[in-house]
Amino acid sequence: MSTEVVATSAISAEQQPSPSAPAQEKVNLLGMSRPQMEKFFEDMGEKKFRAGQVMKWIHQFFVTDFAQMTNISGKLREKLEKLCVIEAPEVVHKNYSKDGTRKWVFRVGDGDGSLVETVLIPAEHRSGLRRTLCISSQVGCALDCSFCSTGKQGFQRDLTQAEIIGQLWMANYSYMEDVPVLERERSVTNVVMMGMGEPLLNYDAVLNSMRIMLDDFAYGMSKRRVTLSTSGVVPKIDQLVKDIDVALAISLHAPNDELRNELVPINKKYPLEQLIAACQRYIAKDGNESSRKHVTIEYVMLDGVNDHPEHAQQMIKLLKNLPSKINLIPFNPFPHAPYGRSSRNRIISFQKTLSDAGFVCTIRQTRGDDIDAACGQLVGQVADRTRRAEQWKKKIAQSNEIMRSQG
């Protein structure tokens, strides 16, 4: 597959969100949820229905210039011009793969050089073309999962609501930049909060961003098409049930506590028993009406680490009382990664064991290999600061030796 690299300057100056320097003190409307924007308008002495009108211009017509908001009076537009901006994070790099995968690196914040990544993966589905956007929620991540490129960078800071929703705005806009304003449509069909960072550790900003995704005055996405993926921050899973109805995915990656403590260290704080119980509480009683009919279990396939037949058996036992769909993810190696990708045969046999036990179990297609589409890879081309790679290589070699000696 070849890669088409598109220069950032390809975005027309007219439509690229306003430059940040002169706008620092202005309020950025991009990240405001409807209640927040309604309050903002009321505080300005305006009618709150203006919020819905402005949100439509921003999130459905991808307009950043108040002059283009033709159903708003000239007087109000002038006022907004003085007080506000509509400003997405700056695109510093973008890659569009021939297979349709798109990837952006955004600079976020006030010139501190923080970068985050966003990946869009298209796929044919029986209901039509799906464009799924994987959105980041933090710069770096504190949780240090041992197979994760982002985890190797450490934690820098939480993203703001504007920086989170700005990723969705920019992905949609990338299909619409040459389309006349009134003919523009929303192109991204699905969102997974599964990029850089642990979304439940940036709870309020992520929650409000998801509210904007679901809002009919903004992206109007179905609650089944917005998925929050967590490594298992148990108290926040319980909070999420109360606050919003979206789909939940768990980055499981190991079927027993010993292995999960190593791969996903937050497991030491919230072990599997607690995590599975929280998932059971998340499943809605009126399952048919909700996005919470099942939980998606994400399981990255690491060669010789978590892909043995007994791991599949442990999964069956662990998940037997949890309505779930399992997604096996072939590991996408990054520089200094201590792991390799499980062989195709190993992944297929793992899938067969789970399918035979009655689980819906899919294997994620690897896409965008030519543009380092696994999250955190572009930004994460950094040295492994934790030196865990070496320790893990040794451990895997030892474990494989034991497996071999046991026949």
- Spatial distance between the Cα atoms of 107 and 162, rounded to a whole number of angstroms: 13
Buried b (16+ CB within 10 A) or exposed e, 313-340: ebbeebbeebebebbbbbbbbbebbbbe
Report whether 180 contacts 217 (CB < 8 A): no
- Spatial distance between the Cα atoms of 247 and 193, rounded to a whole number of angstroms: 10
The distance of closest approach from Cβ of residue 331 to ligand SF4 in the complex, given in angstroms and rounded to an integer, is 12
- Spatial distance between the Cα atoms of 58 and 168, rounded to a whole number of angstroms: 12
Nearest residue (CB) to ligand SF4, 58 versus 193: 193
Residue appearing with tokens 């037949």: 309
Reference 218, options 47, 17, 61; nearest CA is 61
The distance of closest approach from Cβ of residue 192 to ligand SF4 in the complex, given in angstroms and rounded to an integer, is 12
Residues tagged active-site:
117, 375
Binding residues vs ligand SF4 (CB under 6 A): 141, 143-145, 148, 150-151, 196-198, 231, 251
The distance of closest approach from Cβ of residue 110 to ligand SF4 in the complex, given in angstroms and rounded to an integer, is 23
336 is in an annotated binding site: no
174 is in an annotated binding site: no
The distance of closest approach from Cβ of residue 104 to ligand SF4 in the complex, given in angstroms and rounded to an integer, is 17
97 is in an annotated binding site: no
141 is in an annotated binding site: yes
Nearest residue (CB) to ligand SF4, 148 versus 249: 148
- Which residues 6+ apart lie within 8 Å of 122 measured at CB? 99, 100, 101, 129, 130, 131, 132
306 is in an annotated binding site: no
Nearest residue (CB) to ligand SF4, 37 versus 164: 164
Nearest residue (CB) to ligand SF4, 99 versus 144: 144
Please enumerate, by residue number, every residue annotated as part of a binding site for [4Fe-4S] cluster: 141, 145, 148
Please enumerate, by residue number, every residue annotated as part of a binding site: 141, 145, 148, 197-198, 229, 251-253, 332
Please enumerate, by residue number, every residue annotated as part of a binding site for S-adenosyl-L-methionine: 197-198, 229, 251-253, 332
